[in-house]
Amino acid sequence: MPAWLAEISYLVAAVCFILGLKWLSSPTTAAQGNRLSGAGMALAIVVTLLDREVVSYGVIAAGVVVGSALGLWMARTVKMTAMPQMVALLNGFGGGASLLVGAAEFLKAARAGTVPRLDTAITIQLAVLVGAVTFSGSVAAWAKLEELMTGRPITFPWQKTFNALLFLAIAGLGTWLIVATPPRAPHWPLYAVAVLSLGLGVLLVIPIGGADMPVVISLLNSYSGIAGAMTGFVIRNDELIIAGALVGSSGIILSQIMCRAMNRSLANVLFGAFGGAGGTAAVKSAEGLSVRQVSPDDAAVQLGYAQSVIVVPGYGLAVAQGQHLVRELADLLEKKGGTVKYAIHPVAGRMPGHMNVLLAEANVPYDKLFDMDQINAEFERTDVVLVIGANDVVNPAARTDAASPIYGMPILNVDLARSIIVLKRGMGTGFAGIENELFYNPKTGMLFGDAKSSLTRLVAELKAL
């Protein structure tokens, strides 16, 4: 294949990626966009296979078959609740591939006895560093989400200093390799850079609490893109650079959105060890306040005669696998003439947009899903708000109590509704360990119990109504 044809094909593939992302701006075109993006990827792969540099196909065929089979199996079997783990692993594999390609390019130059150009030498080291950090950091994030590792921040004295020294050691070794250029340099510093970077990736993720994993996954998503772009600089392919840059910016934007939704800075998430064993200060005492309990039949009557209902789902709902019951409940209410909408806080799931996917899986139409900014003005005109497994994101203290650790965090203004029903296991506090005054509001009725069994009883009572 002539070089110009390959270049044009790569350009076409890049345009497919760009259009694919553009079509993600609406749920009606998103699926087509994803397929177009996949077609671009297929084109890029075919063009590369016809490249003059590729001389043997046996190893490639084996790798493609094994990788595709594993990827297909993961994609088909993964549960929607486990999507954050899946994305973490995929990020990791992308980073791992960049690490290996960077290392192989170094060894190739060393074997051929050629001196790589300075920029290639630099980007090889960057591809190895960023690729390795992405790989091991993603595996650590996956282990936290899969609960193979404690979700609490793991800290030790001088942690940041230690990490900084580790980074300096990597930078030193990398610089040595760049200056001493492969023909004369030994290979061990390259392996050392790879191993130390793998260690750094783990060390950067372990001090971050399980509740902050959405930010971490988004950031690792960005890293995997940057690692890909670095690989593009190494093999001098603009297609990789464009794709890597697109993914890099996507991850950064999503991390920012998640940080804003938690009213925290990225630095605070990454280095703050939030949610540690120390607990949070300034907890408002619940003494002297009482909660009002409601029975399932009272709650069913209240819901059944409501004109407008907003459901606020939290991750507790997904854990209890109660999405399908919520949809059933909503169907019954709509049959009785009420309207049902869903208010989704940005951090309602375990990754950006997670709750929307979980509800879509339960056949909830997407035009009933509203994000915080779209629906916050509607609460005061709403008869009943049904809060299921959500806590901190509906805590009015974020608006009113300057001493609260979550003060300033954007919340769903549930307390402005005419009445509120909260489905909750017990009076425990949320992730942040903060008392929630919404539960003591006279307008609020608490329905205690496991989300799934409470919903089952509500549905049964509504059917009997």
Partner 1 sequence: MEALLASIVVFTLATFLGVELINRVPTILHTPLMSGANAISGITIIGALIVAGGGHGWISTVLGFLAVVMAMINVVGGYVVTDRMLRMFKRKPEPR
Q: Which of residues 215-244 bind partner 1 (CB under 8 A)?
A: 217-218, 221, 224-225, 227-229, 231-244
Under the criterion CB under 8 A, does residue 141 sit at the interface with partner 1? no
| Interacting residue with partner 1 among 12, 41, 169, 192 (CB under 8 A) | 41
Q: Are strands 308-313 and 339-344 parallel, antiparallel or unpaired?
A: parallel
CA-closest candidate to residue 283, choices 449, 432, 439, 446:
432
Catalytic: 392?
yes
Pick between residue 362 and residue 423 the one whose CB is nearest to partner 1.
362
Pick between residue 64 and residue 195 the one whose CB is nearest to partner 1.
64
Question: DSSP letters along 408-454, please?
Answer: T-----GGGSSEEEEEESSS---TT----GGGGSTTEEEEES-HHHH
The interface mask with partner 1, positions 240-279, x = CB under 8 A, is xxxxxxxxxxxx-xx--x----------------------
Cβ contacts of 168 within 8 Å, gap of 6 or more:
none
| Residues forming beta bridges with residue 180, ordered by sequence position | none
Catalytic residue among 371, 392, 415, 450: 392
Pick between residue 63 and residue 186 the one whose CB is nearest to partner 1.
63
Specify the DSSP class assigned to residue 293.
Answer: B
| Interacting residue with partner 1 among 37, 136, 197, 413 (CB under 8 A) | 37
Q: Which of residues 299-328 bind partner 1 (CB under 8 A)?
A: 327
The interface mask with partner 1, positions 376-415, x = CB under 8 A, is ----------------------------------------
Q: Which of residues 321-360 bind partner 1 (CB under 8 A)?
A: 327, 344, 346, 349, 351-354, 356-357, 360
Under the criterion CB under 8 A, does residue 43 sit at the interface with partner 1? no
Under the criterion CB under 8 A, does residue 114 sit at the interface with partner 1? no
Helix (H) or strand (E) holding 40: helix 30-49
Pick between residue 109 and residue 432 the one whose CB is nearest to partner 1.
109
The answer to whether 186 and 240 have CB atoms below 8 angstroms apart is no
- Helix/strand/coil percent split, the chain, to 5: 65, 5, 30
Specify the DSSP class assigned to residue 211.
Answer: G
Count Cβ neighbours within 10 Å for each residue of 262-273 and write b for 16 or more, e otherwise: bebeeeebbebb
Q: Determine the 3-state secondary structure of 247 from DSSP.
A: helix
Pick between residue 294 and residue 344 the one whose CB is nearest to partner 1.
344
Under the criterion CB under 8 A, does residue 146 sit at the interface with partner 1? no
Q: Which of residues 86-105 bind partner 1 (CB under 8 A)?
A: 86-87, 90-91, 93-94, 96-98, 100-101, 103-105
Residue 249: HSE in the Cβ half-sphere, 13 Å Cα cutoff = 7
| Interacting residue with partner 1 among 170, 303, 306, 369 (CB under 8 A) | 369
Output the six-digit token pair for 136: 């091991």
Pick between residue 25 and residue 295 the one whose CB is nearest to partner 1.
25
Q: What's the min distance (Å) between Cβ of 403 and partner 1?
A: 30
Q: What are phi and psi of 432, to 5 degrees?
A: -80, -5
Under the criterion CB under 8 A, does residue 201 sit at the interface with partner 1? no
Q: What's the min distance (Å) between Cβ of 6 and partner 1?
A: 11
Q: Catalytic positions, please?
A: 392
